[in-house]
Structures are given as structure tokens and as C-alpha cells.
Amino acid sequence: MSKIYKIALMPGDGIGPEVIAESVKLLDAVAEQSDFSFEYTEVLAGGAAIDAQNDPMPQHTVDICKSSDAVLLGAVGGPKWDNLTGAMRPESGLLKIRKELGAFANLRPVAVPPSLAESSPLRPAAVIGVDLLTVRELIGGIYFGRPSGNDGQEAFNTMRYTVGEIERVARVAFEWARKRRNKVTSVDKANVLDVSRLWRDTVKKLHAAEFSDVALDHMYIDNASMQMVINPRQFDVIVTGNLFGDILSDVSATLGGSLGLLPSASIGSGVGLFEPVHGSAPDLAGQGKANPIAMILSTAMMLDSLGESRSATAIRQGLDAALGYNSRTGDLWHEGYKKISTSEMGDLIRTETLKNLY
């Protein structure tokens, strides 16, 4: 009897619905050649949920996500809702669902194959072969620390971590390193911040106790940002806190030449949340100009998490084959390539993926 996976679809705002649609078409095509299928439930989030229910993450959405096997998210936010503040901002709904799902670790892989090296703002020779994974702590740190406030004359936020919060995300990083090239770089600001000194001490103790077979080094966030540009190939797995991870993973996203290439998975103690790193890009919405690759790679990460690694591998191989064609979406286009739409890129990846499943 075939397995049925319950997937919560959260298209969101801007280009979110367009890139989600390409992932669903791909998943359905893969399922036809496999011994599993998908049952989708579409839910509201972000600006779309504010417009419909005056709440960026309604409880109904949370409940459906918690009862699903995985959540696929397109994007949230846009200028229409920029005047909103606090818990009414679309982005606050994203913070809420991560917290509700217990998704404390955000995985952001970046790989630059030869076919994309020329799209990078760096020299191709500097980025060909880059294959790194940033593990970002996701539900603690300065984004959630209390107290925080703004009285119009003074504003403040609190960066706060416990040993337990640091250990659990560092453990994820070490375990991933064992599957990759066996190296972890822990990024902090221990020369200035007390919370970073606790971070560094905790990572060192965990390494000595459980992961001494994995190479470990430490970098300050400012140096790590510079090294990401100077020599990105030196990194295997990076582990860092919420704020630093937010910044550093976006820096790494530029290595391939577009945010439209970078997937992510938010995992932890419950249901996983899979989403592209790019935003809602409202200036591209509804025009067929969005790059679906990050969403499709996020979908592959979801399949890995569900134990369907054969299908996930077929998608990645299909994507690599598709990039070998003389076609690019607008964000990656330059002279010598054919410019294609969101759906055309999705169709191309789907065709090549199915070749790997037959």
C-alpha cells in the first residue's frame, strides 16, 4: 500500500503562489513514478492571512501545519503591509509558526556547480565547487529575547541563549558534518558579547564530549563574513545564532548569483518547514518572472526529511541537467542564454527529473 504524505501548502504572498505551484506539479509528477502520493491542504499565512482573517498566522493554519507531515512555504510580506507593526506584520507570522513547530534549526545549503559559476558576482574560479551548509539557530537569540521595547526615544532588544538551546543546534551541525566533509565552523562574537562566550564554551564542550571526530574551528562573525567572500570553499558546515545566521546565510546566497537559488529547511522537534530564502518579490509577482529553483530545492529537502531520498536525488539531478540547457530565468539571464518563465523552468526541471526516475 502506497504511503500518503499530508502536506500543508502555505503559498503566502508575492511570488509565493507561483513558485509553490511549480513544486506541486513536480511532486505530483514524481509521485506518479513512485510508491507514495501527497494530500495537500492549502492554508493562509502572511499578508494573505491578514487580508482574510486579520492575523498573519491564524490558529487554524497552525493546527493544520502541526497535523501535517511537512509544510511548504512560498513567501510572506510585501509593501501593502509595511505600515503594520508588531504581531500584525506578515513576518511575525513566520516567527510564530517556526516557534509553534519547534523548528529550532534552519538549514541553508549553498552549492555552486560549474553551470552557475559565471552568474556569481565573484570570480568563477573562487566559487566553482562551493558546497556549504549554514545551520542557524532559529527560535532563540535576539529575535525572541526578552525584554525588548521601543518608547519612541529608546529601543532595545535582548540577545539571550541557554546552554540547552546552543547544544541542540550545535548537535544538528555536528551530525550533518559527519554526513558531509566532517568540519564545523562555529561563528560568534565572543570577543565582545557574553552570550557569544557562552556559545563558544558550550560548542567546545559538546565537541569534546560527543563529536571529537569532527574538525571544529571558531570565527568571529565579521571575519566569517569576509571569509565567505574571499574563500567560501573553506567552509563545510557553519553553525551560528539567529542574528548572525540570518546575515551570514544571505551573504552565502549571493555566491551562486541569485537568492532565487537558495533553499532552506527549518527542523527540530516536530513538523519540518521548507521554504526558499528569497522574499516575496512583489515587483515580480504575477508576471512569470520568478525563479522556482529555490522552492524546488526546498521541496527536495522535504522529500529527504520524509525518507524519500531517491526522489530528492532525482530532483537535484534533474535540476543540474536543466541548468545545462541554454535557458535561464531573468535573475540568472545574461547574453547568450534564452530567457524563460517561471513555469517553463519548472517544466524543464520536471522533465529532467522524471528521466532519473524511470
Q: Is 194 a catalytic residue?
A: no
The x, y and z cell numbers of residue 237, run together, are 558546515
Give the C-alpha separation, 38 to 40, whole Å: 6
Give the C-alpha separation, 57 to 106, whole Å: 19
Q: Which of 50, 145, 160, 142 minimizes the C-alpha distance to 94?
A: 50
- β-pair type (215-220, 183-188): parallel
Q: Is 347 a catalytic residue?
A: no
Give the C-alpha separation, 115 to 44, whole Å: 36
Catalytic pick from 55, 188, 246, 304?
Answer: 246
Give the C-alpha separation, 314 to 146, whole Å: 44
Q: Which of 273, 275, 202, 285 minimizes the C-alpha distance to 239?
A: 202
* Per-residue H/E/C for 274-340: EEECCCCCCCCCCCCCCCCHHHHHHHHHHHHHCCCHHHHHHHHHHHHHHHCCCEECCCCCCCCCEEC
- β-pair type (155-156, 149-150): antiparallel
Q: Which of 227, 233, 164, 223 minimizes the C-alpha distance to 199?
A: 164
Catalytic pick from 55, 161, 188, 189?
Answer: 189
Q: Is 143 a catalytic residue?
A: yes
Query: Residues 6 or more apart from 32 whose CB is under 8 A from it?
Result: none
Query: Residues 6 or more apart from 128 whose CB is under 8 A from it?
Result: 112, 113, 114, 117
Cβ atoms of 107 and 135 closer than 8 Å = yes
Q: Is 250 a catalytic residue?
A: yes
Catalytic pick from 6, 66, 99, 143?
Answer: 143
Q: Which of 11, 12, 2, 5 minimizes the C-alpha distance to 33?
A: 2
Catalytic pick from 201, 222, 283, 338?
Answer: 222
Which residue intervals of 144-262 are DSSP H helices?
163-179, 194-210, 221-230, 242-253
Q: What does the DSSP assignment read for 223-256?
A: HHHHHHHH-GGG-SEEEE-HHHHHHHHHHHHGGG
Catalytic pick from 250, 325, 337, 347?
Answer: 250
Give the C-alpha separation, 290 to 14, whole Å: 10
Q: Is 325 a catalytic residue?
A: no
Catalytic residues: 143, 189, 222, 246, 250
